[in-house]
Amino acid sequence: MNIRPDQVWTTPLNEMDAVQKGFDHTKTIRFYDTTLRDGEQSTGVCFSADDKFEIACKLSELGIGRIESGFPRVSEEDTQAVKRILDAGLKSEIWGFARALKADIDAHLELGTQYTLIEITTSDMKMKAFGFTREKVMTSVVDAMKYAKDKGIKRVNFFAVDSTRSDLGYLRDIYGAALEAGADEISMVDTIGVCAPETAEYLIRQVKSWFPTTPLHWHGHNDFGLATASAIAAVRGGADWIQGTINGMGERAGNADLCEVALALQFLYHVPVEMDLSKAREVSNLVQKHGKYEVDSWKPVTGKYIFTRESGGVAAQFHQPSAIEPYSSDILSATRHIALGKKSGLANIKIKLDELGLSAPAEKHGAILERVKSVGTAGKRLVTDDEFRSMVKELG
């Protein structure tokens, strides 16, 4: 999607060297979507095979470079979902998820998965919870990488669970062992969402210094509300891929929201991204529908009302989008609207009349506004267009 400079209205202070320094403005950041696996771990969410197939198709249209199809050993329905997605011939690469177990890898081999992310914990805290030792984990990683590559998996990503809380010396050793055993890529994983953005950047730079030519992923959770910021910091540190989900869904507080990350990277840091943001809201709505939940109406990128104005003071500036919005609604293929309610002013009335093709004498606008405020306040809600039409008919 071609976005013109006159569609983005941020601040020139973003151009300061202190803001832009460290980012590679020539490298396109790509996205690895895990909505169908990590996203489905949101409590209470259950996607059917049909849901997953439909979402995968839309993710491909969005421009997602890699789609994690799921974990076939979870259920027969998940197996069918992975098979359908693999057979669809989508533009995105279709990746499988597996633990460092031969049975998990075999499940993908049987379906024809060519790219697989293989995970095991690398932090002492989680090892203790599982009853693992460092030696056992190291052996499992090496065996799994060799097995996957020997069996014909084209690309393998070693996904070091809880790596942000792992001993750095051990982490370096196990990344190195995984790569030597056949892994093609590695992931830095903030499983519990504990990293400050500065820590995320530091860790990515550290791993890049160890393995400068190895594709490096960042996977972060949102437990402190910093998943988007940490993903951006990881890009500054040198990450090649950002993993996350649509709407930021996922276990506990969720994952990084890929559309938020793409928006911020492109418009605040001038980092090119592989994503068609004009399709972001369509994909978001589909995932909400199948997940049977709704995001906050004020959520960045995908919120229902981010281009809708109720406040009279803001509505008075509605004719100049750059005065009240940071970027054009056209970028997201969204429509700007005026809402009517308790906080509305005379500007709302005039704009809504024009929007609906209605007319009323200017001297009647005040009475109509009072009725709008009364209904909105009493009902603690917005006034519908049909209600407004009736008010205009009665009072205008």
∠ CA 221-228-199 to the nearest 5 degrees?
A: 70
Beta-carbon contacts of residue 121 (< 8 Å; ≥ 6 apart): 127, 130, 132, 137, 160, 161, 162
- 210 and 189 Cβ atoms separated by less than 8 Å: no
Amino acid at 161: V
pLDDT tens column, 209-254:
999 999 999 999 999 999 999 999 999 999 999 999 999 999 999 9
Which range is least confidently modeled, 5-9, 16-20, 379-383? 5-9
User: Left if phi > 0, otherwise alpha if psi is -120 to 50, otherwise beta: which for 237?
Assistant: alpha
Amino acid at 49: A
- 271 and 285 Cβ atoms separated by less than 8 Å: no
Average confidence (pLDDT) over 116-132:
97
- Does residue 1 carry a pLDDT above 70? no
Give the end-to-end CA distance of the chain in Å, rounded to a whole number: 44
Exposure of 360 by Cβ count < 10 A (0-12 exposed, 13-18 middle, 19+ buried)? middle
Place of tokens 């490298």: 27
Strand partners, 30: 241
**Residue 252's pLDDT is what?**
96
pLDDT tens column, 154-176:
999 999 999 999 999 999 999 99
Average pLDDT, the chain: 96
**Residue 396's pLDDT is what?**
75
pLDDT tens column, 269-318:
999 999 999 999 999 999 999 999 999 999 999 999 999 999 999 999 99
pLDDT tens column, 142-156:
999 999 999 999 999
**Residue 208's pLDDT is what?**
98
- 195 and 203 Cβ atoms separated by less than 8 Å: yes
- Does residue 96 carry a pLDDT above 70? yes
pLDDT tens column, 315-373:
999 999 999 999 999 999 999 999 999 999 999 999 999 999 999 999 999 999 999 99
**Residue 5's pLDDT is what?**
82
Instruction: Please give the class, per CATH, of domain 20-291.
Output: alpha beta
Enter the tokens of residue 195.
Answer: 């990293």
Q: What are phi and psi of 358, to 5 degrees?
A: -105, 165
Distance CA 265, CA 46 (A): 31
Place of tokens 């995908």: 302
**Residue 4's pLDDT is what?**
84
**Residue 73's pLDDT is what?**
76
Closest CA to 304 of 295, 291, 312: 295
Average confidence (pLDDT) over 115-120:
98
H, E, C per residue of the chain: CCCCHHHECCCHHHHCHHHHCCCCCCCCEEEEECCCCCHHHCCCCCCCHHHHHHHHHHHHHHCCCEEEEECHHHCHHHHHHHHHHHHCCCCCEEEEEEECCHHHHHHHHHHCCCEEEEEEECCHHHHHHHCCCHHHHHHHHHHHHHHHHHCCCCEEEEEEECHHHCCHHHHHHHHHHHHHCCCCEEEEEECCCCCCHHHHHHHHHHHHHHCCCCCEEEEEECCCCCHHHHHHHHHHHCCCEEEEEHHHCCCCCCECEHHHHHHHHHHHCCCCECCCHHHHHHHHHHHHHHHCCCCCCCCCCCCCCCCEECCHHHHCCCCCHHHHCCECHHHHCCCCEECCCCCCCHHHHHHHHHHHCCCCCHHHHHHHHHHHHHHHHHHCCCCCHHHHHHHHHHHC
Enter the tokens of residue 366.
Answer: 């005040």
**Residue 35's pLDDT is what?**
98
Beta-carbon contacts of residue 213 (< 8 Å; ≥ 6 apart): none
Rg (CA), the chain: 24
Which range is least confidently modeled, 44-48, 212-216, 392-396? 392-396
Average confidence (pLDDT) over 89-100:
96
CATH 3.20.20.70 in the chain is located at: 20-291
**Residue 36's pLDDT is what?**
97
